[in-house]
Amino acid sequence: MANELNYDNMTEEQRKKQAKKAALASIVGTSIEWYDFFLYGTMAALVFPKLFFPESDPYIGLIQSFATMFIGFLARPLGAAFFGSYGDRIGRKATLVTTLLLMGISSTLIGLLPTYENAGIIVSILLVFLRFCQGFGAGGEWGGSVVLSVEWSSKKSRGLMGSMTQIASPIALLLSSGVVSLTIFLTGDNFYTWGWRIPFLISIVLVMIGFIIRRGVADSPQFTKMKKENRLANKPVIEVFKKYPKVLLLVILSSLAQGIPFYVFTTFAISYGTEYLQLDKQFLTNTILLVAIVEIIVILYAAHLSDKYNRKVVFYIGSLLTILVAFPFFWLMDTKITVLVVVAMCVSILGAGAVYGPLAAMIAECFPANLRYSGTSLGYQLSAAIQGLSPLLCVYLLNTFSSSVPISIYLIVACLISIVAVSMLGKNTNQIDMDKAS
């Protein structure tokens, strides 16, 4: 059994085998959880305004829909504190199994909701509650997945192992967009009546697969050693705020250069393309599939470079790439020319992917082992609460100024803030020996 492993007597081959299991669990488990989370974002742009807020005009309906989406982001820091505490006191593995189940059940229930026409305002309230549950589960997922995979890695492969969690994001985007695109194709006009439910109901099958895989993974040697030596933190969340307030703030700001561009170039891009430019929704969801593939490649290569050279340098390059495409992205989108729209969306994700690659290891390396789950989760998810405003804010800016210029400026400012924050994190995190950090 995985939990009966003798870590002290493990051979290098056994350690590598467990590391591969941890990597697989990170990819599969986190992909499933982000599938649920991103699926909601896609439906918030395409379907929910019509089904759950039909009495509002299109602009208000879209605002209301993205506002329910933002509820999930508000819940993520709460989930990070709750599950982070359990992850540092009880174990990484058990906590991650729980977050997976919470996300899957919430998404499945969304697929079973009646519409506003059938149940009135109560269904909108239920939608908000289930979105909150999604966010609460997601809040404990990312940090735990990163910590488990990074703690099983060697110092030389920490960035690449951390990226196993990172590529789960575009894999989930690929999966959710692919399922939505296929559902639109198969159900046609029925997509808005019952077809939209199918992607949500598929969640329960995916969760069962993820549950089986995660059950076979052992907790990391670092956590097991701390538990055996009775060195676990009693109140890890409180200790993170007391002992590492500056680091926590810098981690929050550092993550903006990934999250804000990602949600602008994916979730908001679908809304911008369909509502503002009147582009075909099938075309846009298909393009997102290509965007996800590009991001997977960039994340893995950036993570590899961060192990080989310097995480901070890779992060800076990614942020600068986003700054360079902030204005051209909308210029190309506005042409409505198919090839140029595809180019805009694929090129735009290069910067976010290059930032995301080294980000997981860089954040995990900032905290000692006994506080790592809590610190990593809180830093990233508090930043996510800020990032989650992006689609909502972009809709407001576009409606207020009738121009994409303020949105481009917003992207640039976010990246500049992150560059400054990363520069203040101290020495290059590659140099930190995580085994001795606790």
Q: Rounded to whole angstroms, how far apart are CA atoms 278 and 364?
A: 42
Q: Rounded to whole angstroms, how far apart are CA atoms 76 and 412?
A: 25
Q: Rounded to whole angstroms, how far apart are CA atoms 86 and 373?
A: 9
Please report, for the chain, the start and end positions of each structural domain, with discontinuous segments joined by +. 11-436
For residue 76, which of 324, 294, 259 has the smallest C-alpha distance?
A: 259
% of the chain beyond a pLDDT of 70: 89
The confidence score (pLDDT) of residue 437 equals: 43
Amino acid 163 reads S
Query: pLDDT higher for 28 or 438?
Result: 28
Is residue 434's pLDDT more than 70? no
Give me the mean pLDDT over the 147-174 stretch: 81
Mean pLDDT over the full length of the chain: 83
Per-state percent for the chain, helix, strand, coil, to nearest 5:
85, 0, 15
The confidence score (pLDDT) of residue 315 equals: 95
The confidence score (pLDDT) of residue 65 equals: 64
pLDDT digits (tens, 9 = 90+) for 278-328: 888 778 878 888 888 999 999 999 999 998 888 999 999 999 999 999 999
Is residue 16's pLDDT more than 80? no
The confidence score (pLDDT) of residue 53 equals: 66
Is residue 387's pLDDT more than 80? yes
Residue 137 has φ and ψ, to the nearest 5°, of -70, -40
Amino acid 107 reads S
pLDDT digits (tens, 9 = 90+) for 233-272: 788 889 999 999 999 999 999 999 998 998 888 878 888 8
Would you place residue 11 in the very low, low, confident or very high pLDDT band (cuts 50, 70, 90)? Answer: low
| Burial of 212 (C-beta count, 10 Å sphere; 0-12/13-18/19+) | exposed
The confidence score (pLDDT) of residue 313 equals: 94
The confidence score (pLDDT) of residue 410 equals: 95
Would you place residue 344 in the very low, low, confident or very high pLDDT band (cuts 50, 70, 90)? Answer: very high
Is residue 432's pLDDT more than 70? no
- CATH architecture entry for 11-436: Up-down Bundle (1.20)
Give the residue carrying structure tokens 């602008």: 264
Is residue 3's pLDDT more than 50? no
Q: Which of 50-54, 87-91, 153-157, 408-412 has the highest mean pLDDT?
A: 408-412
Q: Rounded to whole angstroms, how far apart are CA atoms 314 and 310?
A: 7
**Segment among 6-15, 19-28, 220-229, 321-330 with least mean pLDDT:** 6-15
**Residues 127 and 110 sit within 8 Å (Cβ to Cβ):** yes
Contacts with 339 (C-beta within 8 Å, 6 or more apart), sequence order: none
Cα dihedral sign, 155-161-166-170: positive
Would you place residue 385 in the very low, low, confident or very high pLDDT band (cuts 50, 70, 90)? Answer: confident
Per the rule left: phi > 0, alpha: psi between -120 and 50, beta: everything else, 426 is left
Give me the mean pLDDT over the 37-63 stretch: 70
Is residue 41's pLDDT more than 50? yes
Give me the mean pLDDT over the 214-233 stretch: 77
**E strand residue ranges, 305-395:** none
Is residue 124's pLDDT more than 70? yes
The confidence score (pLDDT) of residue 412 equals: 97
